[in-house]
Amino acid sequence: MSTSTRPPLRLAILISGRGSNMATIARECRQQRIAATVNVVISDRPGVAGITTAQDMGLETQVVSWKTAVDRAAFELALGQVIDTHSPDLVVLAGFMRVLSGPFVERYAGRMINIHPSLLPKYTGLHTHRRALEARDAEHGASVHFVTPELDGGPLILQSQVPVKADDTESTLAARVQATEHVIYPRVVAWIADGRLKWNEGHPLLDGKPLSKPVVEHFDAS
Ligand code: GRF
């Protein structure tokens, strides 16, 4: 249980699909393992499983449809309005599949984090598990990072590292990596909620020390 005495961190969680990371973080907030509240879950797609899950958990949900927006500027205007209505301290991208513009990202500098299914800087973009298998990597994993205008390029915070097994397929590897995401993403949110992880003019500080490289957590192949 968190021992923080500060007011709970307000979260806006942005999703595009299943929402398993969102649900894990929301559950940990509810169990007071993270000193935060999920104030809104926003999807850019209507009807996704993550929205149903969030509603089942009694969370406030909003859909800001990418498809029906006239252009990216209109989408981001609507998205920004919904986010700001909830005054979040932290915007958590959890499987949110839209690339956000530089100016939009800058508005939330130091207040927006993302999880990406690779050991960044390896494999930015899509199909990360397939690419790790094709490259015959011995290790694969996921990365939590602050969001900057460079796609999947912001300062790294925490990575999970898993061994790649000889008989791995894209889906077995994806499942193993995703299980680790559910460990590392809540942990980073807790660090921020507890005031341990801070953003200092473009540079993360963990427990007062510059985080020049990510913390790496190793998981076994089970
Ligand atoms: C995760 O694998 C995450 O790394 C990537 O999108 C996926 C989202 O999964 N950015 P979920 O919607 O949280 O289940």
- Out of 116, 140, 145, 182, the active site residue is 116
- Contact predicate 119/154, CB 8 Å: no
pLDDT band at 133 (very low <50, low <70, confident <90, very high): very high
pLDDT band at 2 (very low <50, low <70, confident <90, very high): low
Q: Kindly state the average pLDDT of the residues 66-95.
A: 97
Q: List pLDDT tens digits, range 107-132.
A: 999 999 999 999 999 999 999 999 99
Q: Go through the domains of the chain in sequence order and give each one's CATH number.
A: 1-108 (3.40.50.170), 120-222 (3.40.50.170)
Query: In whole angstroms, what is the distance from residue 199 CA to residue 188 CA?
Result: 13
Ligand 1 centroid to residue 81 C-alpha, Å = 24
Pairs from 68-72 (Cβ < 8 Å, separation ≥ 24): 72/101
pLDDT band at 221 (very low <50, low <70, confident <90, very high): confident
Amino acid letter, residue 20: S
Ligand 1 centroid to residue 160 C-alpha, Å = 14
183 has a pLDDT exceeding 60: yes
Which run of H or E residues covers position 87? none
Q: List pLDDT tens digits, range 38-58.
A: 999 999 999 999 999 999 999
Q: What angle do CA 9, 174, 128 make, to 5 degrees?
A: 90
| Residue 17, phi then psi, degrees to nearest 5 | -155, -120
Ligand 1 atom closest to Cα of residue 94:
13
86 catalytically annotated = no
Ligand 1 centroid to residue 103 C-alpha, Å = 24
| Pair of tokens at residue 185 | 């993403």
| Pair of tokens at residue 107 | 């508005």
